[in-house]
């Protein structure tokens, strides 16, 4: 079988998934529900309608249907940049001198540079269908903002992006790309919102955070008629859209008889990881495979490995519904020296529940090790990886080196969720030896935990 | 037939070209030969050996063999990033409301961001085979330097890149990518070479030029034992390697019954254009098709449309062999406000001869029009194009709009040779309305022509 596997596997159009994969339909226990922050009761469709598009809310609350149809309008958009290739990392294997087979699913071939476009396409499509006339969002490293600007340009809907201030400074060109696609970019925290003003008053020098940018985006949305807010990660419907990654991977693996022993993804808000592993993990839950899944997060923002499993707000301004998740507290802001993305304080409820129930392992890695792995990968496989994706890459290399020690011929699949073209400032710091690591002390974490809400059991 | 054409055509591994296409073998008249600058006699293998690798010289001088085998070591490298997709621009067609069918061959999916990797892979492979221990080169916009650094990392050969100073300042991140791949970058003109010192003494404020960077790279090569110089465009062997673009396109077109009426490429040194159109033009020469070819150059560096067809040096320092080409004179330096690449004073001998003999049309376009087209393309097709490639794109759009007027359903194929991720400074200037155009006056051109050598007929 092996000899007939192409170097890069692209599915044909007729092999492409026509449905997303809703893992909640097979989970033995469901994640605890999203709570209304006022009543502390599970959110209803009506609670969420002022914020999100109707169809997305239905997807958010759907726990029954395993397969959810991808509308033709979204399939057409996907055709612009999908399928993404599943690539055998022959050169990396050779360099590491490992008996392991390493594959990566590469989501960076589109201009947004990452997997984020998968959900942007879907969310803007549904907004357009519903007659929404403008959108707001936040972006951290900028992939989501770029992806959404691309989708908004395609479907012709105006967009305002609150971009984490430190990112907008570290990545001026990313901001320029969003603007080229017609998006309006506001560095966050900003003076344009009440919550922004409040945060600036309390922390004048702050570089911002995703939680804070979310608060600003929601406030602007609430003030704007016929506007909705869209979120690039964390929520169940975002994970749903991202399962296109795992579904394509699975179809490609099945077509060529590739059986992964280990699947690795990086974890920020959880959508890339959830999207990649979802369809495989669903089958693990059903007893159909015994794959070892690993989620990799930065040591500087360790929600899974050092966070608490608790109800928390999605944003710093404490305006979102409460979600049960692994969290560092919505007041946690990672050190500005952290350049590798994955800066969110919390973790998708689905991913958190799967972790809580023992379905996967989580590891944290320090950023200089991540950039070291990224540089090795760039030189051997050609692709310049995003720092985020390089967290997964780093652990894939670790696992391949373990195979070298033990002689095991494992099949390792990891998600290469994006490219690093807009992260050259960080690469320059790494190349010049000035990059430092940051691991929060227990005291640092306690400050974040102190911002957790008190929710009666 | 049409209904079965995929949105994006990727060739399967067994469909990939195994040979490059040497158009000289079918040209009715050959380009005038390269001359030794001392003797003014046609260059021999021995003349070129101190500068170039042996196998590349053989390819340079080969006028007999139409098909030249691609060694397996290069085919393996190509597998890392090829095939490139041939894409139907449905969204752009819809936006332009044209009856024309528009296809583009997209060479920007690799990290170098352009077609340049096609020749870099080949040239470094042959250097390694010959036991060469280091390489020097020049780079303008940075694509070639990045591509070569990637190939040098893969084959493990040290590389020094002289980067046109104005580009290294406009594109610091491009420089950082080259360094991430292990290349040493020196902004040119520099104090590290005699020719650089001389140019700086004469023009202290100069932003540099490709011709000048070539002189510096050749000087360093000559001073370094077992070192060779590699060039990213202009030369016959570079065009030969780039025919992989046209060959893949042709195979894809034939497989799906696509018959281009017009093929358009941008022209700087000519390798992208020559590589894309070569295999199609060879058949035109043989009377097998009647395709209309268009080469598009910047109005600020108009070698084909306003240059002289004459023997000239390839570099400012007048150290290379003389080539018969359309040229603005090796002393011509485009205005620093020109951000769109394609800054070379001359044009490939093969492309020049084909132009001289009437096999294609040349057009020049101003850069604000180019960035306007680039922005429209980005928003409709998703891809952020390189300014260079956007010259071709601009004319493809013009031709599609002509079809709208006439009602003709022409099939237009253009080369999208790269991405613009590292050109965001230029995009920012365009977005903010501060970009200006520059068209040299006849007087400006006369200054360049004054640097042409006197060669007896």
Judged by DSSP in three states, A265 sits in: strand
Contacting residues of B for A80, CB less than 8 Å apart: 7, 91, 381-382
Query: Nearest CB to B378: which of A10, A12, A181?
Result: A181
B27-56 tens-digit pLDDT: 999 999 999 999 999 999 999 999 899 999
Measured between CB atoms, does A162 come within 8 Å of chain B? no
Mean pLDDT, residues A245-266: 97
Measured between CB atoms, does B381 come within 8 Å of chain A? yes
One-character DSSP codes across A278-303:
HHHHHHHHTTS---EEEEEEETTS-H
Q: Give the gap in angstroms from C-alpha A248 to the nearest C-alpha of chain B.
A: 16
Query: Nearest CB to B381: which of A10, A80, A419?
Result: A80
Measured between CB atoms, does A378 come within 8 Å of chain B? yes
Contact B181 A380 (CB under 8 A): no
A377-406 tens-digit pLDDT: 999 999 999 999 999 999 999 999 999 999
Beta strands A67-69 and A19-21, pairing class: antiparallel
Measured between CB atoms, does B184 come within 8 Å of chain A? no
Task: Collect all residues with Cβ–Cβ distance below 8 Å to A405 and sequence separation of at least 6.
Answer: none
pLDDT interval class at B307 (50, 70, 90): very high
One-character DSSP codes across B184-250:
EEEEES-TTSHHHHHHHHH-TT----HHHHHHHHHHHHHHSTTEEE--SSSSHHHHHHHHHHHHHHH
Contact A110 B427 (CB under 8 A): no
Residue A293 — left, alpha, or beta (φ > 0 → left; ψ -120 to 50 → alpha)? beta
Q: Give the gap in angstroms from C-alpha A14 to the nearest C-alpha of chain B.
A: 10
Report d(CA B189, CA B170) in Å as an integer.
15
What residues 200-239 of chain B have any CB closer than 8 A to a CB of chain A?
Answer: none
pLDDT at B101 over 70: yes
Contact B179 A431 (CB under 8 A): yes
Cα A114-A116-A120 angle, rounded to 5 deg: 140
Report d(CA A454, CA B83) in Å as an integer.
56
Query: Nearest CB to B176: which of A153, A154, A428?
Result: A428
Mean pLDDT, residues A406-433: 94
Contact B378 A419 (CB under 8 A): no
Report d(CA A100, CA A403) in Å as an integer.
6
Contact yes or no for B453/B345 (Cβ under 8 A): no
Report d(CA A323, CA A235) in Å as an integer.
9
Question: What's chain A's average pLDDT?
Answer: 94
- Residue of chain B whose alpha carbon sits nearest to that of A79: B7
Pair of tokens at residue B76: 């393996």
Residue A430, Cβ density class (10 Å: 0-12 exposed, 13-18 middle, ≥19 buried): buried
Within 10 Å of residue A128's Cβ, how many Cβ atoms?
19
Contact B176 A7 (CB under 8 A): no
Contact B173 A421 (CB under 8 A): yes
B260-302 tens-digit pLDDT: 999 999 999 999 999 999 999 999 999 999 999 999 999 999 9
**What pLDDT score was predicted for residue B370?**
97
- Asked if the bond preceding B83 is cis, omega within 30° of 0, the reply is yes
Task: Collect all residues with Cβ–Cβ distance below 8 Å to B229 and sequence separation of at least 6.
Answer: B51, B52, B135, B136, B137, B217, B218, B221
Q: Give the gap in angstroms from C-alpha B153 to the nearest C-alpha of chain A.
A: 5
Pair of tokens at residue B50: 């101190």
Mean pLDDT, residues A131-138: 96
Q: Which domains does chain B have, with CATH numbers?
A: 8-16+70-113+236-449 (3.40.50.1100)
Predicted TM-score (pTM) of the model is 0.93
Contacting residues of B for A6, CB less than 8 Å apart: 12-13
Q: What are the b/e assignments for B193-227, b being 16+ CB within 10 Å?
A: bebbeebbeeeeebbbbbbbbbbbbbbbbeebeeb
Q: In what order do the strands lie in the sheet with B227-229?
A: B184-188, B159-164, B134-139, B227-229
- Residue of chain B whose alpha carbon sits nearest to that of A172: B424
Q: Give the gap in angstroms from C-alpha A374 to the nearest C-alpha of chain B.
A: 10
Contact A378 B153 (CB under 8 A): yes
- Residue of chain A whose alpha carbon sits nearest to that of B372: A180
Among residues A315, A307, A301, A298, the alpha carbon closest in space to that of A356 is found at: A307
pLDDT interval class at B1 (50, 70, 90): very low
Q: What percent of chain A has pLDDT over 90?
A: 86
- Residue of chain A whose alpha carbon sits nearest to that of B419: A111
Contact B379 A109 (CB under 8 A): no
B119-157 tens-digit pLDDT: 999 999 999 999 999 999 999 878 899 999 999 999 999
A51-92 tens-digit pLDDT: 899 999 999 999 999 999 999 999 999 989 999 999 999 999
Contact B431 A176 (CB under 8 A): yes
Measured between CB atoms, does A355 come within 8 Å of chain B? no
Q: Give the gap in angstroms from C-alpha B20 to the nearest C-alpha of chain A.
A: 21
Residue A352's H or E segment, with its range, is: helix A349-356
Task: Collect all residues with Cβ–Cβ distance below 8 Å to B436 and sequence separation of at least 6.
Answer: B337, B368
pLDDT at A457 over 80: no
DSSP letter assigned to residue A83: S
Give the CA count within 13 Å in the CB-facing half-sphere of B140. Answer: 23
- Residue of chain A whose alpha carbon sits nearest to that of B83: A8
Q: What are the helix (H) ranges across A194-314?
A: 194-202, 210-223, 236-256, 271-285, 303-306
Contact A378 B12 (CB under 8 A): no
DSSP letter assigned to residue A71: P
A144-179 tens-digit pLDDT: 999 999 999 999 999 999 999 988 887 888 899 999
Contact yes or no for B426/B336 (Cβ under 8 A): no
Contacting residues of B for A111, CB less than 8 Å apart: 378, 382-384, 419
Residue reference for tokens 């919505």:
A330
pLDDT interval class at B88 (50, 70, 90): very high
Among A80, A106, A381, most B C-beta atoms within 10 A, so best to mutate, is A80
pLDDT interval class at B2 (50, 70, 90): very low
Q: How many CB pairs under 8 A join A and B?
A: 105
**What pLDDT score was predicted for residue A209?**
83
pLDDT at A181 over 60: yes
Among B83, B87, B109, B111, most A C-beta atoms within 10 A, so best to mutate, is B111
């Amino acid at each position: 079988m092996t000899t007939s596997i192409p170097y890069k596997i692209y599915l044909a159009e007729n092999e492409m998934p026509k449905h997303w994969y809703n893992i909640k339909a097979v989970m033995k226990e469901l994640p605890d529900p999203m709570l209304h922050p006022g009543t502390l009761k599970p959110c209803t469709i009506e609670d969420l309608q002022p914020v999100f598009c109707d169809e997305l809310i239905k997807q958010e609350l759907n726990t029954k249907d395993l397969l959810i149809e991808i509308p033709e309008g979204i399939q057409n958009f996907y055709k612009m940049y999908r399928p993404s290739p599943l690539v055998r990392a022959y050169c990396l294997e050779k360099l590491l001198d490992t008996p392991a087979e390493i594959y990566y699913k590469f989501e960076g071939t589109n201009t947004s540079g990452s997997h984020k476009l998968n959900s942007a396409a879907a969310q803007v499509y549904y907004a357009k269908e519903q007659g929404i006339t403008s959108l707001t969002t936040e972006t951290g490293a900028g992939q989501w903002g770029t992806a959404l600007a691309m989708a908004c340009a395609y479907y012709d809907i105006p967009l305002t992006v609150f971009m984490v201030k430190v990112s907008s400074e570290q990545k001026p060109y990313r901001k320029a790309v969003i603007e080229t696609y017609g998006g309006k970019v506001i560095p966050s925290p900003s003076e344009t919102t009440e919550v922004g003003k409040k945060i600036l008053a309390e922390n004048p020098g702050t570089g911002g955070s995703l939680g804070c940018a979310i608060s600003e985006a929601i406030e602007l949305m609430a003030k704007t008629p016929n506007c909705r807010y869209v979120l690039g990660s964390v929520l169940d419907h975002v994970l749903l859209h991202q399962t296109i990654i795992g579904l394509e991977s699975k179809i490609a693996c099945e077509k060529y008889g590739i059986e992964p022993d280990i699947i690795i993804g990086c974890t920020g808000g959880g959508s890339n990881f959830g999207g990649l592993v979802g369809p495989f993990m669903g089958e693990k839950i059903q007893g159909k495979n015994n794959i070892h899944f690993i989620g990799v997060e930065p040591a500087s923002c360790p929600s899974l490995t050092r966070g608490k499993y608790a109800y928390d707000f999605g944003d710093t301004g404490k305006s979102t519904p409460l979600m049960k998740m692994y969290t560092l507290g919505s007041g946690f802001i990672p050190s500005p020296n952290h350049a590798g993305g994955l800066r969110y304080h919390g973790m998708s409820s689905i991913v958190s529940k799967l972790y809580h129930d023992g379905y996967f392992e989580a590891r944290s890695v320090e950023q200089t090790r991540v950039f070291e792995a990224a540089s090795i990968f760039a030189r051997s496989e050609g692709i310049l990886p995003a720092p985020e994706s390089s967290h997964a890459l780093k652990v894939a290399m670790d696992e391949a080196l373990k195979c070298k020690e033990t002689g095991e011929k494992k099949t390792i699949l990891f998600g290469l969720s994006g490219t690093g073209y807009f992260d050259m400032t960080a690469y320059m710091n790494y190349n010049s030896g000035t990059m430092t690591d940051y691991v929060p002390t227990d005291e640092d974490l306690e400050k974040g935990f102190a911002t957790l809400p008190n929710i009666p059991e």
